[in-house]
Amino acid sequence: MRVLQITNKPPLPLIDGGCIAMHQITQSFLNNKVEVDLLCISTLKHPFQKKLYAKLNAQSAFIDTSIQPFKAFRQSFKTQPYILKRFESKAFEDLIIATLKNNSYDVIHFESLYTTPYIEVVKKHSTAKLVYRPHNVEHRIWEANAALEKNAFKKAYLQRMAKQLKKVEETIPALFDAILPISITDEDFFRSHFSSTPTKTISIGIDTTAYQKTTNNHSFFHIGAMDWLPNQQGLDWFIENVWKDFYSKNKTVPLHLAGKSISDYYSQFQTLNIHNHGEVKSAKDFMNENGIMIAPLFSGSGIRVKILEAMAMGKTVIATEVAAKGIPYTNQKDILIANTKEEFLEVMKKCATDSHLIHSIGENAHQLIAKNFNIDILGENLVSFYQQIIH
C-alpha cells in the first residue's frame, strides 16, 4: 500500500497536539510497512525543516496564514470561512499536482479541515481513495467561543464564522471515501451526517514506555498551546474564578504555567504563586517536574493530547467534561471532573492534602491509557481499515 499524507503544517518538530497526532499517523504507516509520502504546508508559525524528515519523502510549500483583519472581515460575508481561506495557495496546489503526476497512490490522507480546499484538485489528478482525518468538529469550537465572548462585535463575528464552518463540515466530508475521526464523540457527528461513508475512530496513540511514571506532588500545572483561543479562555477563567479563591486559603501551593505562545501577561500573577515558564523545551520534563494537571477547557472537540500524556505519566488530572472528551474515563477513579468554580475548588482542596488520592488516581490513569491508547494496536487498526477501503 502507498499513501500520500497531506497536512496543514509540518508534523515535525512535535510542538503541539496537532503535530503529534499527524506524526503518529505517519509513524503508524511506517511501522506497518506502508510506503508514505508527505506534503505539508509551511507557515511562519510552523516552518518546514527538511532535516527532520531524513527517513521520509517530505515536501512543502509556504503559505502566509497570518491573520489579516480586513480580509477576515470581508470574507465573513462570503460562503467560505476565513480561517479555511487562509490555507489556499497556488504554490501548494502546484506541488500536489506535480506529486500526483509523478506518483501513484492507493490512499490520499487529508489531515484536518484545513487541507480540504485541495480535494477537488486531488480528484482531478488521482483515482486514489480519499480519506478525511478531522482533528475536531471545528464549528462546535467556534460556537462555544462565541458563547463565551462578551464583546458584541467579536461575538457576532465568531457566530458568523461558526455558521460558515458548520455548512462546510456538513457538506465537504461527503466528497471523501472514508472518514477517520480522532474521538468517539466526533465520530457520532460524522456518522449522523454521512451514514453511508465508512467511518472509524483512530485516536491518538500513546507509547506508555516513553513516559516515565513520576511521584505526584501537590503543585498544580497547566500546559497548552496558548495561540488556541479555547486554551486562553479556559486559563483566564480559571485564574480569575478559581485560583484567586484557592490561593487565598492555600498560599504555599503553586500553579505552574507553560505552553507554546504563552503570553508574558501571565507573569503578572506571580504574587498569586503563579509561575509562567514560557514555552518550555520539553513538555514531558515540565509535566514530570510538576504535580496535578489543570485542564479548564469550555470549548473544543477531538481529544487533548497533553491530557493523555499526563495520564500516561501517572498524573492526576482535573478537567472539565469538554477537556476530557474522547477519553473513556471513570470520574473519581482515573480522572477528576470539574465544570464549575465550586467543583474545581472542592477537588483541588482534596488533591492539595491527600497524597493517597492523587497516587490512586494517577495509577489508574496510567492503566487507562495503556489499555485504550496503545500506539501499536491503533496503528494496526489504521492500516487494516485502509486495506478494507482499497479492496
DSSP sequence for 109-173: EEESGGGGGGHHHHHHH--SEEEEE-SS-HHHHHHHHHHH--SHHHHHHHHHHHHHHHHHHTTGG
Report residue 73's pLDDT band, with 50, 70 and 90 as the boundaries.
confident
Across the beta sheet with 129-133, the strand order is 57-62, 35-42, 2-7, 107-111, 129-133, 178-179
State which CATH number among 3.40.50.460, 2.40.50.140, 3.40.50.2000, 3.20.20.70 fits the domain covering 208-372: 3.40.50.2000
For the stretch 253-271, pLDDT in tens is 999 999 999 999 999 999 9
Q: Do domains 2-205+374-390 and 208-372 have the same CATH topology?
A: yes
| DSSP-based three-state secondary structure for 297 | coil
Of the candidates 64, 200, 36, 56, the one whose C-alpha atom is nearest the C-alpha of residue 134 is 200
Considering just the CA atoms, what is the radius of gyration of the chain in Å? 21
Predicted TM-score (pTM) of the model is 0.85
Q: Which residues pair with 28 in a beta bridge?
A: none
Whole-number pLDDT of residue 227: 87
C-alpha cell at 127: 483515482
C-alpha cell at 211: 513516559
Instruction: Find out whether 274 and 257 touch, Cβ atoms under 8 Å.
Output: yes
Could you tell me if residue 278 is left (phi over 0), alpha (psi between -120 and 50 degrees) or otherwise beta?
A: left
C-alpha cell at 352: 492539595
Mean model confidence pLDDT for the chain:
93
Instruction: Find out whether 125 and 101 touch, Cβ atoms under 8 Å.
Output: yes
Residue whose grid cell is 468554580: 341
For the stretch 35-66, pLDDT in tens is 999 999 999 989 999 999 998 999 999 999 99
For the stretch 101-127, pLDDT in tens is 999 999 999 999 999 999 999 999 999
Residue whose grid cell is 487529508: 110
In sequence order, what are the residues at sequence separation of 6 or more whose Cβ sits closer than 8 angstroms to the Cβ of residue 258?
Answer: 221, 222, 223, 276, 277, 278, 279, 280, 283, 286
- Sketch the domain layout of the chain as residue ranges: 2-205+374-390, 208-372
Q: Return d(Cα 348, Cα 343) in angstroms, integer.
A: 8
Instruction: Find out whether 62 and 39 touch, Cβ atoms under 8 Å.
Output: no
Report how far Cα 154 is from the mean position of its chain's Cα atoms: 24
Whole-number pLDDT of residue 351: 94
Whether pLDDT at 215 is above 70: no
Looking at the chain, the whole-number percentage of residues with pLDDT higher than 70 is 99
For the stretch 194-203, pLDDT in tens is 999 999 999 9
C-alpha cell at 238: 480559571
Report how far Cα 274 is from the mean position of its chain's Cα atoms: 25
Whole-number pLDDT of residue 120: 96
Instruction: State which fold the 2-205+374-390 domain adopts.
Output: Rossmann fold (3.40.50)
